[in-house]
Structures are given as C-alpha cells and as structure tokens.
Amino acid sequence: MPPNTLALTFSFAFLPFEGEITFDVTQPTEATLIFQKDDPSGINVLAEHPVAVVLLPSGE
C-alpha cells in the first residue's frame, strides 16, 4: 500500500508554515501532531501545541 500524505498549511504568530507528513496505516489511527515553537533567544522556553488528528488509509 502506498503511503498517505498529510499536507499542512497554516500561520502561527504571523509566520507561514507549509509541510507534508507521509504515513502508512491500514486502519483509522488516532495520532497527535505536536508543534514546538523555536526559541532563537537561547532562553529555551518550550512552547508546544498538540493537535489531535485521525490518520486514514488510502481510499477512505
């Protein structure tokens, strides 16, 4: 079975983001994408934003 692709396009704090995640599942599968904020200041303040998704096999 060929892998599926999840295409992402959104803006966070006025910065655009675009990407693709490839996955291969045989049944609907709950997953969580965790977006982490970069911290160029070096202070290392971790900011995470979890997003719940359901991955579906090809053809569903």
Domain span including residue 25:
4-55
Structure tokens at 20: 């693709």
Q: For residue 32, is it within any domain?
A: yes
Write out pLDDT tens, residues 3-57: 677 777 777 667 777 788 888 888 999 998 887 777 677 776 677 888 898 988 8
Structural domains counted in the chain: 1
Q: For residue 48, is it within any domain?
A: yes
Q: What is the DSSP letter of 3?
A: P
- The answer for residues whose C-beta is within 8 angstroms of residue 54's C-beta and 6 or more apart is 28, 29, 30, 31
- Residue 60: its pLDDT value, please? 54
Q: For residue 60, is it within any domain?
A: no
- Residue 28: its pLDDT value, please? 92
Q: For residue 50, is it within any domain?
A: yes
Looking at per-residue pLDDT, the higher value among 22 and 2 belongs to: 22
pTM exceeds cut of 0.75: no
- Residue 10: its pLDDT value, please? 72
Q: Are 35 and 10 in contact (CB under 8 A)?
A: no
